[in-house]
Amino acid sequence: AKQPMTNDKQQIDRALSLMDRVFGFREFRPWQKEILKSVLSGEDALVIMPTGGGKSLSNEQA
C-alpha cells in the first residue's frame, strides 16, 4: 500500500473538480467516493462492479 495522502477532503474535492473538468461529471457515482477515500488513505482496494459502474474513473483518479 502507498503512503497515506494528507487532507482527504482536499484530495476528494480536487478529484471531483478534475472529474468535472475532464469528463463532465459533477458528482461521484455510488461507491466511487468511498473507493477513492480508501485508496487515498493508503488502503488496498478490490472493486467489483458491473460495466458502467465507475471502476475505470475511480482507478484513473487514484
pTM of the predicted model as reported, rounded to 2 decimal places: 0.64
Predicted pLDDT of residue 10: 87
- Please state the domain extents for the chain: 8-61
Predicted pLDDT of residue 17: 92
Q: Tell me the pLDDT of the chain (62 aa) as tens digits.
A: 555 555 778 888 888 898 899 889 899 887 888 888 888 888 888 888 888 777 776 666 65
Q: With contact defined as beta carbons under 8 Å apart, do 3 and 42 qualify? A: yes
Predicted pLDDT of residue 61: 62
Which residues neighbour 51 within 8 Å (Cβ) at sequence distance 6 or greater?
none
